[in-house]
Amino acid sequence: MTDRNQDNTNFPPFETQDLRANLAAFIGEPFRDPVAGIDRPIGQFKWGVYAFFDYDGEPIYVGQTKEKISTRIRRHLTNQRTDAVAMSVLDPFEVYEIEVWPLPEFQETSAGDAQAKAHLDALEDFIYQQAIERSTFKAVLNEKDPPTPSVKIIAPPSRRYRIVSDDVYKIRSHPDFRIARRALIISRLAQVISERKVQGGLRRVMLTQAKRLQWLAQRRYEALGGAASVETESGGSVDD
Q: Residue-wise pLDDT tens for the chain (240 aa)?
A: 445 455 555 666 788 888 889 999 999 999 999 999 999 999 999 999 999 999 999 999 999 999 999 999 988 888 655 666 767 788 888 999 999 999 999 999 999 999 999 999 999 999 999 999 999 999 999 999 999 999 999 999 999 999 999 999 998 999 999 999 999 999 999 998 998 888 899 999 999 999 999 999 999 999 999 999 999 988 765 555
| Rounded CA separation 38/26 (Å) | 18
Asked whether residue 62 is assigned to any structural domain, the reply reads yes
Asked whether residue 80 is assigned to any structural domain, the reply reads yes
Q: Is 226 helix (H, G, I), strand (E, B) or coil?
A: helix
Asked whether residue 189 is assigned to any structural domain, the reply reads no
Strands 59-65 and 97-102: unpaired
Task: Categorise residue 218: left if φ over 0, alpha if ψ from -120 to 50, beta otherwise.
Answer: alpha
**pLDDT for residue 36:** 93
**pLDDT for residue 12:** 62
**pLDDT for residue 83:** 66
Asked whether residue 65 is assigned to any structural domain, the reply reads yes
Residue 145's Cβ-side half-sphere holds a number of Cα atoms within 13 Å equal to: 10
Instruction: List, in sequence order, the alpha helices (H) in the chain.
Output: 14-27, 69-78, 83-86, 114-134, 166-172, 175-195, 200-223
Asked whether residue 109 is assigned to any structural domain, the reply reads yes
- Return the number of other C-beta atoms located less than 10 Å from residue 98's C-beta: 24
Give the length of the chain: 240
3-state helix, strand, coil in the chain (%, to 5): 50, 15, 35
Asked whether residue 186 is assigned to any structural domain, the reply reads no
**H or E segment and range at residue 189:** helix 175-195
Q: Considering its fold, how many domains does the chain have in total? A: 1
Q: Which domain holds residue 61?
A: 9-165
Write the CA distances from 208 to 8, 26, 104, 145, 214, integer angstroms: 38, 29, 34, 14, 10
Q: Is 103 helix (H, G, I), strand (E, B) or coil?
A: coil
Asked whether residue 201 is assigned to any structural domain, the reply reads no
**H or E segment and range at residue 141:** none
Asked whether residue 230 is assigned to any structural domain, the reply reads no
- Return the number of other C-beta atoms located less than 10 Å from residue 107's C-beta: 16
**pLDDT for residue 75:** 87
